[in-house]
Each structure stands twice: as structure tokens, then as C-alpha cells.
Amino acid sequence: MAKSWLLLFTLFVLAGCRSGPPMGREKLEATEEEYTQARYVCMKEATGRYSEATVSGYSGAATSQPEISCQLYDACMQSKGFNLVPNGRFQSPIRCTRK
């Protein structure tokens, strides 16, 4: 009986992890070149620097790296007519931070 409850619980957990169809961008009659140009401009506009420093006693460390804001990127792409939809034609390899 305990094994069947464990199996049922595992199935519910796995079902909750399903993410649905892949998201992509869509714009009527847009070419791959138009999408690539818009993506480049929006990436530049949405990219900022993330810096962090720690100091303790006589030592310290600092890091700085580029970071793309998903909110800014999404707004920029939408302003150019490329809406985010399930199974959209243009799949983006961009990794950004959702804040």
C-alpha cells in the first residue's frame, strides 16, 4: 500500500514539472534576417553589468559579468512586433535573468 502511494505521489510531482510547449517569437511575414537584427538590437539594449565584491580582513574578491534582463528584452522585442507565443517560429538562444 505504501509503495502505491509513493508511486502516485511521484507521478503527481513529475506531472507538475512538465513545462509545456517551447516558447518562441512570432511576427507575420517576418524574415529570419529581420528577426536576427531585432534580436541583436534588443540584446544590446537589455544587457547590463552585474558586479559583486566581498571584502574580509585583508583580502577581497570582485567579479563582473554581463547580464541580460528578460523584462527589457521581452519589451524591446514586443515593441518591434515579435510576440512571445507557444511554438513560435523564431526560437531564441538567449539566456536572461527574470526579475
User: How far is Cα 23 from Cα 26, in angstroms, rounded to an integer?
Assistant: 10
DSSP H helices in 17-95: 32-46, 70-79
**73 pairs with which residues across the strands?**
none
User: How far is Cα 70 from Cα 99, in angstroms, rounded to an integer?
Assistant: 8
DSSP H helices in 1-99: 2-16, 32-46, 70-79
* Phi/psi-derived region of residue 43, left when phi > 0, alpha when psi is between -120 and 50, beta in every other case: alpha
Chain segment 42-63, per-residue pLDDT in tens: 999 999 888 888 998 889 898 8
Q: What is the value of pTM for the model shown?
A: 0.65
3-state secondary structure of 56: strand
- pLDDT above 60 (res 4): no
pLDDT value, residue 72: 92
